[in-house]
């Protein structure tokens, strides 16, 4: 998977591409946890180019959300593909995460 992090004010946007699965979860976790370790508590996961996610990928997103919420922050997800959206809905994660149409919208919602 490829991950590019861009900062928007105090919000970190993780632009993710490829798949978030058992093969890639370690690299995602490293980038995300480094952000939290550096003090980031407002994170957007841009899934525009994310093609697949499995249960281990879902697990790391939840783990990240827990860490950030413990610090009074939040993680929002944006631009879910139909495939990823189906997996979110089956596991009801769309009720746990705020799902936004795109990363710009997610950033704006943080600012409200």
Residues near other proteins (CB under 8 A) are 19, 21-23, 52, 54-56, 58-60, 62-63, 65-66, 82-83, 86-87, 90-93, 95-96
Under DSSP, the state recorded for 108 is H
Q: In this structure, are strands 98-100 and 74-78 parallel, antiparallel, or unpaired?
A: parallel
Based on CB atoms, which residue is closest to other proteins, 7 or 55?
55
Least gap, CB of 55 to other proteins (angstroms)? 4
3-state secondary structure of 7: strand
Taking the complex as a whole, the smallest distance from the CB of residue 88 to other proteins amounts, in Å, to 11
Q: Report whether 98 contacts 90 (CB < 8 A).
A: no
We find the least distance from the C-beta atom of residue 108 to other proteins, in angstroms, to be 25
4 versus 83: smaller Cβ distance to other proteins: 83
58/107 with CB nearer other proteins: 58
- Residue 61 C-beta-side C-alpha neighbours within 13 Å: 28
d(CA 32, CA 39): 11
The nearest distance, CB 96 to other proteins, in angstroms, is 5
Backbone angles phi, psi at 9, to 5 degrees: 65, -125
């Amino acid at each position: 998977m490829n991950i590019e992090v861009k900062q928007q004010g105090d919000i970190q946007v993780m632009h993710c591409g490829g798949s978030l699965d058992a093969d890639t979860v370690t690299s995602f976790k490293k980038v995300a946890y480094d952000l939290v370790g550096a003090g980031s508590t407002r994170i957007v996961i841009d899934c525009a180019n994310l093609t697949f996610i499995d249960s281990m990928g879902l697990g790391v997103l939840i783990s990240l959300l827990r860490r950030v919420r413990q610090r009074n922050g939040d993680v929002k997800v944006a631009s879910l593909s139909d495939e990823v959206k189906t997996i979110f809905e089956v596991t009801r994660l769309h009720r746990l995460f705020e799902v936004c149409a795109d990363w710009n919208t997610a950033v704006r919602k943080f600012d409200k």
